[in-house]
Amino acid sequence: MIPAAFEYVRADSADAALAALAEHGDDAKLLAGGMSLIPLMKLRLATPTVLVDVARLTDLSYVRDAGDHVAIGALTRHRDLETSALLAEACPALRGVAAEVGDNQVRHRGTLGGSVAHGDPASDLPAALLALDATFVVRGPGGERTVAAEHFFQGFLETALAPDELLTEIRVPKATGGWNYQKFNRRAQDWAIVGALVVNNGSTRVALVNMAGTPLRARSVEEALAGGASVADAAALAAEGTDAPADLNASPEYREHLARVLVRRALEAAGA
């Protein structure tokens, strides 16, 4: 399958990328690792006329200790998260979820910022960043702004990013408590049919993958646990507030069942 023709622009700096976006407007798309965008282009579900390649902005590839949080450059690859000693220590849940993305080949190319900006509710990392209360640093023509993860994911493949903005950094509060990620799929490297992440960091946070048009926090489960409910009783509430999609893999009802089962397993494994 061959994508529709496009003009290719390789950005050598964040400023150059922003200038290209300003010039080409809605017709342009940023290309990072391309692990989500290229398949969409091959299926011609996406037909950008200009691709602005930001993958070589190596100054946006880093994992840094920033005191109370870990600062991660938007172009940091999943592989670099998976092998980061700092992340293993300061935020093991994010390291662990990154290691579950796709397969080795995908993790060699795909980037954290790309996954976030794509905003796919079936992706692992957006849900993880929601559970971890991450903040996103965004640069646009008017300068820099920050957006909390809970306000970032707005709909299916829709985020708070404007077409002329570039995600530059992901800030993840340190979280060293127990965690567990349950990813249910049929083929090893596939997207999750449903995923459930539990992170214990003072309170217990629960995030769901592929249970609505955006990644979701399972607030009912979190509130029940905070109120002293048992794991079994809390997990029974996992489908509340969800809007599970129907597709080849599963009906909404089956997804709701999976959410309850996977949240219970994740809570038990995380020692919630």
Partner 1 sequence: MQVSTTVNGVAQSHDVEPRTLLVQYLREACGLTGTKVGCDTSSCGACTVLLDGESVKSCTMFAVQADGGAVTTIEGLAPSDTELHPVQQAFHEKHGLQCGFCTPGMVMAAVSFLEENPNPTEREVRLGLEGNLCRCTGYHNIVQAVLEAAGKMGGGR
Q: Site residues (CB under 8 A) for partner 1?
A: 1-8, 10, 31, 34-35, 38-39, 41-42, 51, 53, 55, 79, 102-106, 108-109, 187-190
User: Residue 182 CB, nearest distance to partner 1 (Å)?
Assistant: 16
Query: Which C-beta is closer to partner 1: that of 85 or that of 188?
Result: 188
User: Residue 183 CB, nearest distance to partner 1 (Å)?
Assistant: 12
Asked whether 220 and 237 are in contact (CB, 8 A), the reply is yes
* Of 114, 99, 98, 4, residue with least CA distance to 48: 4
User: Residue 157 CB, nearest distance to partner 1 (Å)?
Assistant: 18
User: Residue 218 CB, nearest distance to partner 1 (Å)?
Assistant: 27
Query: Which C-beta is closer to partner 1: that of 77 or that of 264?
Result: 77
Pairwise CA distance, residues 48 & 38, whole Å = 11
Query: Which C-beta is closer to partner 1: that of 20 or that of 208?
Result: 20
Query: Which C-beta is closer to partner 1: that of 69 or that of 77?
Result: 77
For the CA atoms of the chain, what is the radius of gyration? Answer: 18
* Of 136, 249, 151, 114, residue with least CA distance to 194: 249
Q: Which residue has the tokens 């190596």?
A: 58
Ordered DSSP codes for 128-185: HHHHTT-EEEEEETTEEEEEEHHHHEEETTEES--TT-EEEEEEEE---S-EEEEEE-
Asked whether 78 and 106 are in contact (CB, 8 A), the reply is yes
Query: Which C-beta is closer to partner 1: that of 51 or that of 272?
Result: 51
User: Residue 51 CB, nearest distance to partner 1 (Å)?
Assistant: 7
Residue partners of 50: CB distance under 8 A and separation at least 6: 6, 7, 8, 9, 20, 24, 27, 28, 29
User: Residue 89 CB, nearest distance to partner 1 (Å)?
Assistant: 20
Query: Which C-beta is closer to partner 1: that of 51 or that of 259?
Result: 51
